A and B are shown apart, each in its own frame.
Chain A
Amino acid sequence: MKLTAIRPVGIVLVRELSLTMLLLLGVSALVFLILYLSPGDPFSVLLEGQSLSEEARSGIRQAMGIERSWYGQYFHWVSGMVRGDFGASVRTGLPVLSEVLRTGINTLILTLGSLLVTLLIAAPIAIRSAMRGMSKATWSFTILSYVISALPVFWLGYIVIYFFTHKLGLFPLAFGFATGAKKWLYLLLPIFVLGIGNGTISEVIRTLREEMGRVMEEDYIRTARAKGASVWKHAFKEGFLIPVTEIIAAKIPFILGGAVIVEQVFNWPGMGRMAWQAAQDRDYPVIMGIAIVAAVLVRLGSLFQSVVYVMVNPRASKE
């Protein structure tokens, strides 16, 4: 790659990273505020049903930092975060950051995998119908995908589990039980359920078909045809690559939301399930940590999109 092409990418990186910083600050403040205002604290959940002396209680409170004023707590937490210390889980005592990253990887696999599934189903239908017109096959696939997209992800998840465990007796209900081929099945099923059931297939088909269809009308595609070159090759950047990165960036937050449900249903050891548990426990440090990591994931999607855009579009990189 030429040096002139690297500079604009650098500019985008700097811009995106500073935006991310601001966003993280905002997210952390918001989450903190919500947690602070919601009733109950980790302390009371932790000690539920136990009788302790008032002295012991305030001792524990102090150790947990709950005695401080709310802004005191927030700044304590933010300054820790800046140093890479997200605190420890109230429930398990394990360091939040490493725990969230460990589960975050699993969620990332689930999210990106399901995005891939969505795209592998949607893109061929969208591209083919945009480039060659609607045939009977593309019509039926489109309608089918719209129906499937309307299925709620939790329902689809339970149906799949029911089918595999009760009908086929194949499915281990807890992660890590299975070995060999079943292990792969365990890995792939949730990915497929989220990929199909997150409601984005029909949307991706529509967006991609519109974008590709618009590009097909462009004069330069007519030129490509007239010179006997590959239309797909010429339409690829504007009609496929850019819209796909836009879709990925825009869909990550929704898919993360869907992941929470799928992780519950499939007992997938990801960040979503951890968040669910932490919310029940009022495990503030964990919730905060997850919120931050999720926000970072979302920003990474948008960073990816911007970088691809400048790299692909010569015009954008000149500006």
Chain B
Amino acid sequence: MMAEPLLAIEDLRTYFYSRSKRAFIRSVDGVSLAVAKGETLGIVGESGSGKSITAMSVMGLVSAGPGVISGRIGFRSDRVERQLLEGLDTCVALRREGGRVMAVEKDDDRWAGQVEKNMTGIRGREISMIFQNPKQSLNPFETVGRQITEAIMLHTSHKIEQEAKEKAIEWLDRVKIDSPRLRFDNHPFGLSGGMCQRAMIAMALSCEPHLLIADEPTTGLDATIQSKIVDLLAELKSELGITTMLISHDIGIIGRLSDTVAVMYGGTVVESGPAKDVLSCSPEGKHPYTAALLASIPSSDAVREKGHLQAIEGDVLDTINIPAGCRFYGRCSRVTDKIREKCDKQEPDLREIASGRRVRCWLYFE
């Protein structure tokens, strides 16, 4: 039995309407996830599987023109309890013709207003987020220090600038930026990518949020920097015990930091459960996609031999023309004759196969 979840996502569907194709790109297509207090949920999957859009939906960052969201996202801490998607459906009208969506009318203005309303007091204060591309994620026109100070003054009881500044420097020190007092006055362009990510982490944690969402926090950084950032996150995790939603395509990083893991494919969760079970070595007893992902981690020997990384064969799912059957069917190597018919025609649901373990695959439903 899981502890009271801090964040509960139920049947989240985030679609982008493509005018030219007269159809929805179903980036997130029925995701249900829960993050329990104090735990780290790792979300892993190839790029394009809908991980970032899931996180952006939680943060109310899917405001771009064609984005449409449905489902429920409940957030509940000791300070607030809120439905984060409240009222968004009333801002969108669909015009259908013969089952096909011909037009989406979205009142962007009202949508933006509703998102603001849902997210005030949440963003930065209850939930913080860090991103891929730390350098671009910091405002290039402001010093790093002032950006952190701003967050502290917005969300904590430190309302006096000098006081907030001292706090910011403390946090810069805490994320292991050396000479934090000097770095405080640096603009992002004067810092390396790794330092910028440290500053982003400092900014995100400085308001002592209940939930941290880290979307590909190490992607794009040099390998050595990557492992240092992972070390830092691990250290902060044990120090602060902050609830975290960690997103990465890198199953190694997910394995190091997560308590629970959800594997995403084609906009859905195909497997979830305790990290040690999901990521254990034997390919049996896990979803074929998870097994393939694990197999694609190059051992250093393999890389040396082949000189390249082995990815999973086949292409990432086309999220417009989703097949009727299992989304992984076209790439799956474990289909047996017994279930072939089902794999092809009918989508499996996400079923509990053991305590806390859920898999979306016909192999396990016999």
Q: Which residues of A contact B (CB under 8 A)?
A: 131-135, 218-220, 222-229, 234, 237-238, 312-315, 318
Contacts and interface: CB of A to CB of B under 8 A. Distances in A.
B145 interface: no
A133 B139 contact: no
A238 B139 CA distance: 10
A222 B137 contact: yes
Interface string B146-173: 0000110011000000000000000000
B138 interface: yes
Contacts of A223: 129, 131, 137-139, 200
Contacts of A222: 61, 131, 137
19 contacts: A132-B108, A135-B109, A219-B131, A220-B140, A223-B131, A223-B139, A224-B139, A225-B123, A226-B61, A226-B124, A227-B203, A227-B204, A227-B207, A228-B124, A228-B154, A229-B150, A229-B154, A315-B189, A318-B190
Given A228-B124, A229-B154, A132 B139 contact: no
Interface in B91-137: 107-109, 111-113, 119-125, 128-129, 131, 133, 136-137
A271 B165 CA distance: 53
A228 B155 contact: yes
Contacts of A318: 189-190
B272 to A, nearest CB: 25
Contacts of A315: 140, 187, 189
A55 B151 CA distance: 85
Contacts of B200: 223
Interface string B40-65: 00000000000000000001110001
B108 A237 contact: no
B112 A133 contact: yes
Contacts of A220: 136-140
A219 B108 contact: no
A131 B112 CA distance: 9
A223 B150 CA distance: 12
A34 B38 CA distance: 80
Contacts of B65: 133
Contacts of B133: 219
A228 B119 contact: yes
A156 to B, nearest CB: 31
In the complex, which range does the number of interface residues on chain B fall in?
A: 35 or more
A256 B142 CA distance: 36
Contacts of B207: 227
A297 B317 CA distance: 59
The residue among A131, A135, A229 with the most chain B CB atoms within 10 A of its own CB is A229
A218 B139 CA distance: 9
A222 B124 CA distance: 12
B108 A314 contact: no
Given A225-B123, A237-B141, A318-B190, 7 more contacts: A131-B112, A132-B113, A224-B139, A226-B124, A227-B203, A228-B121, A228-B123
Contact of A227 (B108, B109, B154, B190): B154
A293 B136 CA distance: 43
Nearest to A220: B139
B295 to A, nearest CB: 33
A248 B7 CA distance: 49
B200 to A, nearest CB: 8
A225 B123 CA distance: 7
Contacts of B155: 228
A223 B204 CA distance: 10
Nearest to A131: B112
Given A223-B138, A228-B124, A229-B124, A132 B59 contact: no
A256 B121 CA distance: 50
Contacts of B141: 237-238, 312-314
A134 B128 CA distance: 29
Contacts of B60: 225
A225 B154 contact: no
Interface in B188-246: 189-190, 200, 203-204, 207
Interface in B316-346: none
Contact of A219 (B119, B137, B150, B154): B137
Contacts of B140: 220, 238, 314-315
Nearest to A241: B141
Contacts of B203: 227
Given A132-B108, A134-B108, A219-B131, A227 B139 contact: no
A224 B136 CA distance: 12
B183 to A, nearest CB: 14
A227 B128 contact: yes
